[in-house]
Amino acid sequence: MRIGELSERTGVPAATIKYYLREHLLPSGVHGEGNTVEYGPEHVHRLLLIRALSETAGLSVAQIGEVLTILARHPESAFQAMGAALAATHREPKFSLASEGTTQAAERTVDALLEEYGWAEVAPPMYRDALVTAMAAYYRLGNRDPQEVLGHYADAAAQLASADMEAIAEATGEGGVNVEQAVIGTVLGETVLAALRRIAHIAASARIQEERGPSGTMGS
């Protein structure tokens, strides 16, 4: 197929396809007679993959390039590829509301949580720092210590991580592990989780409102 048909099948404008080609996110097509260039199913798949990473997961072009490089570098190791993809797609907080006091309080909270769950020795500094930045902003805005809520978050995260690892281990044992599927599932999983959490919040809020009734107090 020519670039026009490739654009039609993927919904990616021809100019954007040419940009991806220049950035080496998309492999070159096969040159035919004259100046014609033909593209195949692998180009369709790659463009859909790029769209998922860009438009659904919100990754930058540089991050997409990192993920694609990781997929090529770890064709048979889903666990290594997932770890590398998580590091490559990490987003540093753009701004910190922290003061010296709130930073110290946040560090105590985060370090205590990581220690409690046995994560202190394995947590990469960038993730620990992101937690500290978020918690420092939380404290700076006058909120109370959310230790109990953080525990629920950590419990949920641990359960999700175990489910992900078990699924990959099971697929590996059956010889059917798909490294791309594991990596993309990890990246898109954050979008899925955020959407599910919001839905759950709405459902829980509606349930509480129903239980309290028009007066706003809990019914008997």
Domains of the chain and any CATH numbers: 3-56 (1.10.1660.10), 100-212 (no CATH)
Q: What pLDDT digit, counting tens, does each position of 189-216 carry?
A: 888 888 998 999 999 999 888 887 765 5
pLDDT at 220: 45
Classify residue 58 by its DSSP letter. Answer: -
pLDDT at 112: 93
Q: How confident is the model at residue 174 (pLDDT cuts 50, 70, 90)?
A: low
* pTM summary value: 0.69
Q: Which amino acid is at 32?
A: G
Q: What pLDDT digit, counting tens, does each position of 133-166 carry?
A: 888 888 888 888 887 889 999 999 999 888 877 8
Provide CB contacts within 8 A for 35, sequence distance 6+: none
Token readout for 207 is: 């349930």
